[in-house]
Structures are given as structure tokens and as C-alpha cells.
């Protein structure tokens, strides 16, 4: 049931397994006339690329894309844009010992039950590598949004228990985000988090975290009042990223403890520290910045021994030897940005027909 297709207007289909020939996407519905080139996409891919951070896997992929269609003389045609990223550094042999083991916290067992067979090499379609296709599509969506003045910026707001200051709080530095390997908006938070990451890594373990995202100058009037609330579409987009277990927008879970008079934003919406709504009311974007966060569980692949089901029903102690992220959050930052871009681009195109 087209579970690899996202969006109704700016429609993206992703494809590819971790250790297959390639990953990629096809974008259907991108308006004609948008300037795009492979470098735009490669720039975003490089942020997601493995091998470039303290918390990252050591698998190294060039992650250079090829645009197969839909772009002519540097401009989109209004035709489908197919983008392919070849897999070049797959160490499939690492996974042979796991062929008949269901790794805890992974989809392995579910795949076998649902599909009857499975690509056991690196998670196959359930690998985080699948998100390269999303990031490629997101790069195009971001170009479209940029034409409207909209910018999307995500960062790691917590690693394990180490929290960075929130946007607008003392110590939050937007320019710091791209300056450290954990993509945190504060140098001191980064240093504490890095120490934690190193310790966890030494333990052969992994650690969870939180990614936050802020969209400035989002188009107003995106979303619809009932099932296609902007909040709902963002939540779905973000929860579709592997390892995400929670989503909140604006005041989020903390709004549950507030009164209406505390939580209602003042009409002018000028005080950014009080954007409790997070940029939407009744499911529709107000034009104020969109602000939301996603909780990522710790990566389930760890060296530390754990008990695991095997295909034959037995239970075994396993240690997972592949090249895994200690904390997925830094590399998830461009994926959160990409999914946000896909939602907004989709609604941007839809929105043009809301009134006579």
C-alpha cells in the first residue's frame, strides 16, 4: 500500500536497501521553473553522510547523487525528478552472522513475519540509509521553500540527559550548531554531551537524544482544520523517521500542566519565548515560526551483549559488530529538516486552491 510514497502534491517515493545497488527517490509534483542542480542535493546529503562525526558510524559513503530526469538546463520541468545515490561502501559480510538472529529493538522479526523474507544485510529497507533518499528529496523541497523565504533549521537539543539551552534561552547559539560534531547549539552542552557519547561508546552502548526544529517565515495558512492539520502531518513525517518515539509542537507536553490563560499566546505573537502554539492554531500555520521536537530512542544496535531471538525460536546472546551510530541524533538533523521540508512543500502547493 504505497508506504514508500509521501505527500499528495509534492509526492516523493523513496527506494533502496542499505546494501543494495543504490538508494534514491522520485519527486512527482515539483513545479516547473525551479533551479536545482546535483550540488544543491549533495550539500544536504553530506550532512547526513556517515563517517563524519563523533557519534556516527564509521561506514564511509561518498553519497554523491545523479539526477536522472525532470531537470533540463538546470531548471525543473514539472516532470518527475529521479535521483539516485549509489551504495559504495556496503560491508555486507558483517551481517552474515546475524542472518538468522532477530536483533533486539530492530524490525527483523516483524519483517520476517510480515513479508516472509528479509534482506538481512544492514537492515535492508529498514536501515537508516533509506533516509538518504528523503534528504535528496528534501533538498529540492527546501529550494522550493527558499523561493518563498522559508528556512528550516534543526539541531540536537539533548543527548541522553545532557540538554542544550532552548531556542531564545541564554546560551543558545544558532551559529554553533554546524560548528560541532554533535550539532548542538551550545559549546558547553556539546562538550558535556561529547564526554557522554565517548563513555557510552567505550561501553559498547548507544544513547538517545532529542532533535529540535525551527522554521522561520513559514508560509501562512498551511494545513486544514481536521485530518490534515499541519501538526498532524508534521507528526507523521517525524515519526516516520526510524528511532523517533515522541513528537511535540510548541509547548508540547508541558502545555498539559498549564491553564488556558497561561498557554494562550498573546495576540501579537511578538514574544517568541511565548510561542506556545508552536506556529499553528486549529491545525493551520499562523505565519509565526514553527517549533517542534522529536525524541529519538538510543540506536538498538550495540556491541554490548544482549539476548536475542533467533529465527528458529531459540534465544542467543549476541554482540552486534557492524559500524553503528552511538547517537543517531546528529545525523538525524538533516533528516528532520528534510521531512519538515517535504510536509511544507506539499502543503504549499495544495494551499493555492483553498479559496475561490
| Residues between 74 and 103 that touch a copy of itself (CB under 8 A) | 75-82, 84, 102
Q: Which of 50, 70, 122, 330 binds a copy of itself (CB under 8 A)?
A: 70
Q: Which residues, 6+ apart, have CB-to-CB distance to 308 below 8 Å?
A: 101, 102, 103, 104, 315, 316, 317, 318
Helix (H) or strand (E) holding 340: helix 329-350
Nearest residue to 247 via CA among 310, 286, 292, 204: 292
For a copy of itself, the closer of residues 175 and 287 by Cβ is 287
Nearer to a copy of itself, 77 or 173 (CB): 77
Total number of residues binding a copy of itself (CB under 8 A)?
150
Q: Tell me how far, at minimum, the Cβ of 64 lies from a copy of itself, in Å.
A: 15
The three grid cell numbers given for residue 93, joined into one nine-digit string:
559480510
**Which of 52, 84, 58 has its CA nearest to residue 334?**
52
Of 174-233, which residues contact a copy of itself (CB under 8 A)? 200, 203, 205-210, 220-221, 224-229, 231-233
CB of 317 to a copy of itself, least distance (A): 11
Of the candidates 299, 335, 336, 341, which one interacts with a copy of itself according to CB under 8 A? 299
- Sequence-separated (6 or more) residues with CB below 8 Å from residue 26: 12, 13, 15, 80, 81, 82, 83
Using the structure block, give the residue that is written with the C-alpha cell 555486507. Answer: 92
Compute CA 52 distance to the chain's CA centroid, rounded to the nearest angstrom.
17
| Binding piece for a copy of itself, criterion CB under 8 A, among 14-22, 46-54, 169-177, 187-195 | 14-22
Rounded Cα distance between 207 and 200, Å, is: 7
101-102 sheet: strands from edge to edge: 101-102, 306-310, 315-318
User: Minimum Å distance from CB 219 to a copy of itself?
Assistant: 11
CB of 153 to a copy of itself, least distance (A): 20
Rounded least distance, CB 82 to a copy of itself, Å: 4
Residue 248 contacts by C-beta under 8 Å, 6 or more apart in sequence? 292, 293
Please identify, among the stretches 37-45, 186-194, 294-302, 330-338, the one whose residues bind a copy of itself according to the rule CB under 8 A. Answer: 294-302
Among 158, 177, 335, 336, binds a copy of itself (CB under 8 A): 158
Which of 93, 175, 202, 261 touches a copy of itself by CB under 8 A?
261
The smaller minimum CB distance to a copy of itself, of residues 118 and 153, is found at: 118
Least separation in angstroms between residue 269's CB and a copy of itself is 9
Which of 84, 105, 55 has the alpha carbon at shortest distance from 332?
A: 55
* Residue 115 sits in the site that holds a copy of itself (CB under 8 A): yes
Dist. CA 170–CA 123, nearest whole Å:
41
Distance from C-alpha of 304 to C-alpha of 310, rounded to nearest angstrom:
17
Q: Are 45 and 135 in contact (CB under 8 A)?
A: yes
CB of 66 to a copy of itself, least distance (A): 7
Minimum CB distance to a copy of itself smaller for 238 or for 333: 238
State the minimum distance, in angstroms, from the CB of residue 314 to a copy of itself. 10
**Sign of the torsion formed by the C-alpha atoms of 233, 238, 241 and 243:** negative
Cα end-to-end span (Å), the chain: 34
CA distance 161 to 210: 10
Does residue 313 bind a copy of itself (CB under 8 A)? no
Interface residue with a copy of itself among 51, 165, 166, 252 (CB under 8 A) is: 252
Phi, psi of 180 (to 5 degrees): -135, 160
Return the residue of 20, 53, 122, 289 that touches a copy of itself, per CB under 8 A: 20
Closest CB 285 distance from a copy of itself, rounded Å: 8
Nearest approach in angstroms of CB 59 to a copy of itself is 18
Taking CB under 8 A as the criterion, the residue among 246, 274, 311, 323 binding a copy of itself is 246
Residue from the set 93, 114, 175, 202 that interacts with a copy of itself by CB under 8 A: 114
Amino acid at each position: 500500500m504505497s508506504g514508500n510514497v509521501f505527500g499528495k502534491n509534492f509526492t516523493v517515493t523513496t527506494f533502496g536497501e542499505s546494501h543494495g545497488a543504490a538508494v534514491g527517490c522520485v519527486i512527482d509534483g515539483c513545479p516547473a521553473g525551479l533551479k536545482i542542480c546535483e550540488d544543491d542535493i549533495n550539500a544536504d546529503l553530506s550532512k547526513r553522510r556517515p563517517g563524519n562525526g563523533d557519534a556516527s558510524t564509521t561506514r564511509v559513503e561518498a553519497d554523491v547523487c545523479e539526477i536522472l530526469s525532470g531537470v533540463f538546463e538546470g531548471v525543473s520541468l514539472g516532470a518527475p525528478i529521479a535521483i539516485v545515490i549509489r551504495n559504495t561502501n556496503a560491508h555486507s559480510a558483517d551481517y552474515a552472522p546475524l542472518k538468522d538472529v532477530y536483533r533486539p529493538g530492530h524490525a527483523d522479526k516483524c519483517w520476517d513475519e510480515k513479508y516472509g523474507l528479509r534482506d538481512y544485510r544492514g537492515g535492508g529497507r529498514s536501515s537508516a540509509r533509506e533516509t538518504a533518499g528523503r534528504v535528496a528529496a528534501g533538498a529540492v523541497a527546501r529550494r522550493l521553500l527558499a523561493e518563498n523565504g522559508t528556512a528550516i533549521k534543526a539541531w540536537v537539543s539533548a543527548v541522553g540527559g545532557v540538554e542544550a539551552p532552548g531556542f531564545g534561552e541564554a546560551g543558545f547559539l544558532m551559529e554553533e550548531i554546524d560548528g560541532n560534531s554533535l550539532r548542538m547549539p551550545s559549546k558547553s552542552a556539546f562538550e558535556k554531551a561529547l564526554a557522554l557519547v565517548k563513555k557510552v561508546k567505550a561501553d559498547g552502548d548507544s544513547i538517545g537524544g532529542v532533535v529540535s526544529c525551527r522554521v522561520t517565515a513559514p508560509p501562512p495558512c498551511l494545513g486544514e482544520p481536521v485530518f490534515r492539520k499541519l501538526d498532524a502531518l508534521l507528526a507523521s513525517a517525524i515519526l516516520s523517521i526510524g528511532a523517533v518515539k515522541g513528537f511535540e509542537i510548541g509547548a508540547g507536553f508541558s502545555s498539559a500542566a498549564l491553564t488556558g490563560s497561561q498557554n494562550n499566546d498573546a495576540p501579537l505573537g511578538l514574544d517568541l519565548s511565548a510561542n506556545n502554539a508552536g506556529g499553528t492554531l486549529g491545525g493551520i500555520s499562523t505565519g509565526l515560526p514553527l517549533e517542534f521536537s522529536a525524541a529519538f530512542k538510543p540506536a538498538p544496535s550495540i556491541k554490548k551483549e544482549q539476548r536475542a531471538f533467533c529465527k528458529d525460536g531459540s534465544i542467543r546472546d549476541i554482540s552486534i559488530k557492524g559500524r553503528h551510530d552511538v547517537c543517531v541524533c546528529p545525523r538525524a538533523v538533516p533528516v528532520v529538516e528534510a521531512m519538515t521540508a517535504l510536509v511544507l512543500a506539499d502543503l504549499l502547493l495544495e494551499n493555492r486552491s483553498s479559496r475561490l
